Chain A
Amino acid sequence: MSWAGPDDIFLSTSLATYLDTNVVLEGACERVIVGDLYCDIPLGLYVIRGENVVIIGELDLEKEELPSRMNPVSEDEIKRAQKAEREATDLKGSMRKRMEFLDFD
């Protein structure tokens, strides 16, 4: 497993090699998590430049990978959920900017 920021891409794979933390992943899949929903999108062979790598974690196969509350959904559904979350944060951001303009003391 490796986690590359800043777009919060979370990749799971069965084989990895690295040198100066450049990573080659075989059978990679991207796990997108939005709230309690998640989706694994297969990516195939991936080469990651080391400067983008945040964590490389070893999965304990006996442990649960995700909390039981999480539900798997399809790719389309997770993309819709991501869009909704992005719009919600944008809205919050723009509202805050409007409040700052009013300059409450």
Chain B
Amino acid sequence: MLFFSYFKDLVGREVTVELKNDLAIRGTLHSVDQYLNIKLENTRVVDQDKYPHMLSVRNCFIRGSVVRYVQLPPEEVDIELLHDATRREAR
């Protein structure tokens, strides 16, 4: 629940989603759900030459289970707040 709420607050930000198959996709976070499925707008693949499959994809839905990382801009991340929240969640 914690990260679901956290991502809901990040809607509208530019993020890079790195998948377990090594594909990295940059886009604006449009929405997220309880499974941490991610919908991105204004999508572009980070290494376009290696992954020509998605040249014309502008909006996409990414299944939560295939995400390895969600790379966030450092200005958006309040480390102390996250640290406290995760500690409380773990209890």
Contacts and interface: CB of A to CB of B under 8 A. Distances in A.
Interface of A: 1, 3, 5-6, 8, 10, 21, 31, 33, 50-51, 53-61, 63-67, 70
B59 A57 contact: yes
Contacts of B65: 51
B60 A55 contact: yes
Contacts of A58: 57-60
Given A5-B21, A6-B21, A60 B56 contact: yes
9 contacts: A1-B57, A3-B54, A5-B21, A21-B63, A54-B21, A57-B57, A58-B60, A65-B56, A67-B52
Contacts of A59: 56-57
Interface size class of B (residues with CB under 8 A): 20 to 34
A63 B58 contact: yes
Contacts, number: 64
A21 B62 CA distance: 10
A63 B19 CA distance: 24
Given A5-B21, A6-B21, A21-B37, A55 B55 contact: no
A59 B43 CA distance: 11
Contact of A33 (B37, B53, B63): B53
Of A10, A50, A65, A70, chain B has the most CB atoms within 10 Å of the CB of A65
Contact of A70 (B52, B58, B61): B52
A64 B55 contact: yes
A50 B63 contact: yes
